[in-house]
Amino acid sequence: MNHNLAGKVYPTFQYEVGREKIFEYARATLSKNPFSTDPEFAAQSHYGNVVAPPTFAAVYCHQALRNVFDDKELAMKIPRIVHGEQTFEFGEVVMSGDTISTTVTITDIIEKENRKGLINQFLIMTTESVNQDGELVCKGLWALVERGNE
């Protein structure tokens, strides 16, 4: 990987949150939470709208993260990539009708030798997602590992 890209900020991607997409996501993740699955319950709640599950962050961050995978300058070897870690800090609730803007930053690219003596590269990224009012809805930390060649 191109270590010179540490600190690179990618273009912001906007995602319009649709009610049907929230329902689809809730079904796919076997959620029974009525805030995300029952439009009548959600409408009567203090939110007044269908609410996305917290892990819906993977949906609105997806295309922003594609920018990293498609970055030829980064020279990432996609077939050698495995998921390392991800953590989220949540802010405002995401609801149907929101427009979420996500920006990805390469925080660091580091190398570590594994037990076999191979060099693994760690791509550390942060995402910052805000709603249409500029309120933070989610900050993510993402780590990908490019396994070393034998």
pLDDT in tens, the chain (150 residues): 999 999 999 999 999 999 999 999 999 999 999 999 999 999 999 999 999 999 999 999 999 999 999 999 999 999 999 999 999 999 999 999 999 999 999 999 999 998 999 999 999 999 999 999 999 999 999 999 999 987
Q: Per CATH, which fold does 3-17+51-146 belong to?
A: Thiol Ester Dehydrase; Chain A (3.10.129)
What is the structure's pLDDT at 107?
A: 97
What is the structure's pLDDT at 59?
A: 95
Residues contacting residue 105 through CB under 8 Å, at least 6 positions apart: 7, 8, 9, 10, 125, 126, 127, 128
- Domain range summary for the chain, segments of one domain joined by +: 3-17+51-146
What is the structure's pLDDT at 11?
A: 96
Strand partners, 99: 16
Are 37 and 79 a contacting pair, CB within 8 Å?
A: no
Are 103 and 64 a contacting pair, CB within 8 Å?
A: yes
The tokens for 13 are: 């991607």
SS3 58: helix
What is the structure's pLDDT at 66?
A: 94
What is the structure's pLDDT at 149?
A: 82
Are 51 and 36 a contacting pair, CB within 8 Å?
A: yes
